A and B are shown apart, each in its own frame.
Chain A
Amino acid sequence: MSLEISPAAETWHKRFPAAVRPAPGRKRSKSAGLMQSTDAEIDMSVLLVRIGRTRDVADFELLFRHFAPRVKAYMARTGSAPAAEELMQETMVAVWNKAGLYHPDRGAASTWIFTIARNLRIDAFRRERHPEFDRNDPAFQPESEPAADDRLEGEESAKLMRQALTVLPPDQAEVLRLAFFEDKSQSTIASALGVPLGTVKSRMRLAFAKLRGVVESSGDRS
């Protein structure tokens, strides 16, 4: 019986809250500028929040230049090039329309845009719904403690996760890519790779433990 949560998942669980708590000195105000001093990279989450507030088309063009090629490539993994182009445009229009609903404390801009693209892909290619929770639902069980304003913002932990992804062992990176990009469930991945399902599950679990671990250890550092 697989009723109990796996040990790895339990650790993830218990330790995740620590992952989003920054160490002293890492705190960054929400009004931080778009340009980050370290790498002169545009902070897409700050940009997206601003678009939601001001509806500035020039700001949105910056966001579009960054994400349109990524979303198109994502769509092209499961569909033809013309379909990918159309779904990319649909995704970006949805990003503009919903920008006011984006909350940076729940994740990076890339995460939020990924979920919008993912749902449009499911709808377009599988004609299925992707049932989701709704925070305004009276039956919704809220977090017991309100989100503290000193949480590590999505963009910072996202950057750490991005670095960790580049050093994953190839077999672990491969199962992640197959799951996220090619619309393959873990059992489909197992038959595609000709390995037992348990192997795919454990590669996936190891990959996640590692990605979480990096975010956590940095969050704990003082």
Chain B
Amino acid sequence: MTPRHHIADDLLIDYAAGSLAEGWSLAVATHLSLCPDCRARLAAAEAVGGQLLETLRLDPAPGAWAAVRARLGAPENAATPPQPQAAVLPKALRDYIGGDLEAIRWKAIGTAGAQMRLKTADGKTQVRLLKIPAGQPVPEHSHRGRELTVVLFGAFRDGELLFARGDIEDADEETQHIPTAMPEADCICLAVTDAPLRFTSWLVRLVQPVLGI
């Protein structure tokens, strides 16, 4: 089954243009690995980049061709680096974790699940893997900024909407939501935010700095 909740236009265009921060780009690349429809949209957005490139012109330095010619070596081997036999997490994400699900180093968030923070170089986003225990809600929260959540394993329900593998939820500061893992399995997601979450409960807010969320 392919995803039903897709990447918003603005994210897809910024990703194609190369202006999207690394953290958001990781969420986009994760969804793209699982969504043929959005890959077709991306191809069109990148074609715009190619055609815009065709409109530019700035003469290379006089010796440019000779310099490049001298650097032409053997072709890169078309054989791709070894891949595992099977994987749950897309490669874009495995590269940040150092492996598949079993390589995730979970840290408990109280009794409300667990997380692993992933490091990016953009200095703007916070990226984490989240595990929501089967049937349990993530504490109700809203955002000062944007939050992208991509489902990797299991599924969660938020109000009327169901999010399963590959689906992306795109929430902003107006969203106040209670994502709840479906009862069948723990739900594992990639969550990217540009500002700390704002929990509705003062109790959760109190412990937030301690939990690092």
Contact = CB atoms under 8 A, between A and B. Distances in A.
Contacts of B95: 131
A162 B43 CA distance: 15
B67 A176 contact: no
Given A3-B169, A110-B53, A110-B54, A137 B33 contact: yes
Given A89-B71, A141-B36, A84 B58 contact: yes
Contact of A204 (B9, B44, B50, B56): B9
A201 B146 CA distance: 16
A88 interface: yes
Nearest to A94: B76
Given A179-B14, A179-B17, A108 B56 contact: no
Contacts of A12: 41, 44
A85 B173 CA distance: 43
A138 B53 contact: no
A212 B22 CA distance: 27
Interface residues of A, number: 96
Given A3-B170, A9-B41, A68-B64, A131 B29 contact: yes
A165 interface: yes
Interface stretch (B86-94, B106-114, B195-203): B86-94
A28 interface: no
A40 interface: no
Interface of B: 2, 5-6, 8-10, 13-14, 16-22, 25-26, 28-30, 32-37, 39-41, 43-61, 64-65, 67-69, 71-73, 75-76, 78, 80, 83-93, 95-96, 120-122, 161, 166, 169-172, 174-175, 177
Given A6-B9, A201-B9, 14 more contacts: A2-B172, A89-B71, A110-B53, A114-B50, A128-B22, A133-B91, A143-B36, A143-B39, A158-B51, A165-B48, A179-B13, A186-B14, A204-B9, A208-B44
16 contacts: A4-B5, A16-B40, A84-B58, A85-B60, A85-B64, A128-B122, A130-B18, A130-B22, A134-B90, A134-B92, A138-B84, A139-B33, A139-B91, A140-B91, A143-B36, A208-B48
Interface of A: 1-6, 8-9, 12-13, 16-17, 19, 52, 55, 57, 60-61, 64-65, 68-74, 76, 84-85, 88-89, 92-93, 96-101, 106-115, 117-119, 121-122, 126-134, 136-144, 154, 157-158, 161-162, 165, 176-177, 179-181, 183-186, 188, 201, 204-205, 208, 211-212, 215
